[in-house]
Chain A
């Protein structure tokens, strides 16, 4: 242990609890918004909130924010791959 200079970052309990509270609040917002008829925006709002929630989970719960930056590179790479696959498929689907 003595040799590993940069030892583990330990996330405090309170950080996790705050993030959990935020996640629960966002969940209640998304459920409430779904009840209001916003037409096509309903889906957009739901996906936007889901994106915020996943950013919280990935950064704090999954510790990406405090880990080696190589994991961030991995994450961006796979996220971009998925995005490109979606983009190309919809390009094909919409302009077929």
Chain B
């Protein structure tokens, strides 16, 4: 952390104890707990969709395919930029890496802005968990919107965490705490960000593409 620390690290370049594979393995293990967390929610979705196919269909028509598609493209592009920032840093192109990371964070914020408009639109239409309008509907529709708010909400929470994480990582790249020969922290954050993208790849057709 301190200057002296940094000098020691660079002086003992080849001898500092560091285990990149171990660090990545830890990250992957964490990602699996995330897959199981969302997997459980997808399971609940699957069972109720089979139980109430028509009501899921009706409720799904209320969601905007356009907003869902735009957010899909935004997340896919942010996944690209974070991947490019890793390659850039490995090729010792620090400024490109910084630009790509900043782009990723901007796209993540854009995603959240869209989400804000989407959700506030739903709220003003009287659709939010526990609202009278929602509770007067059929069971299947209540379940659909319950799952919609929980699953896309939990996903949005992950996006927010990603914004904080990537900002910290960006600071570390700028301050040379992350360098071309020591990119594992950037790579692990990238893995987290790709997982957020991956979950959205499934959320999108299941919620926004019911026609």
Contacts and interface: CB of A to CB of B under 8 A. Distances in A.
B202 A50 contact: yes
A10 B91 contact: yes
Contacts, number: 116
A89 B43 contact: yes
Interface residues of B, number: 47
Contacts of B47: 89-90, 93
A95 interface: no
Interface string B25-60: 100110010011001000100110010000000000
Interface stretch (B82-90, B119-127, B166-174): B82-90
Interface in B73-103: 73, 76-77, 79-80, 83-84, 86-88, 90-91
B88 to A, nearest CB: 8
Given A86-B43, A86-B46, A81 B36 contact: yes
Contacts of B204: 27, 50
Main secondary structure of the interface of B (DSSP, over half): helix
Contact of B28 (A20, A74, A82): A74
A63 to B, nearest CB: 7
A17 B87 CA distance: 12
B205 A50 contact: yes
A10 B47 CA distance: 42
A33 B59 CA distance: 19
Interface of A: 1-3, 8, 10-13, 16-17, 19-20, 23-24, 27, 30-31, 34-35, 37, 42-43, 46-47, 49-50, 53-54, 57-58, 60-63, 67-68, 70-71, 74-75, 78-79, 81-82, 85-86, 89-90, 93
In the A-B complex, list the 6 residue pairs whose CB atoms are closest, starting with the nearest.
A46-B205, A34-B209, A20-B80, A78-B32, A82-B39, A10-B90
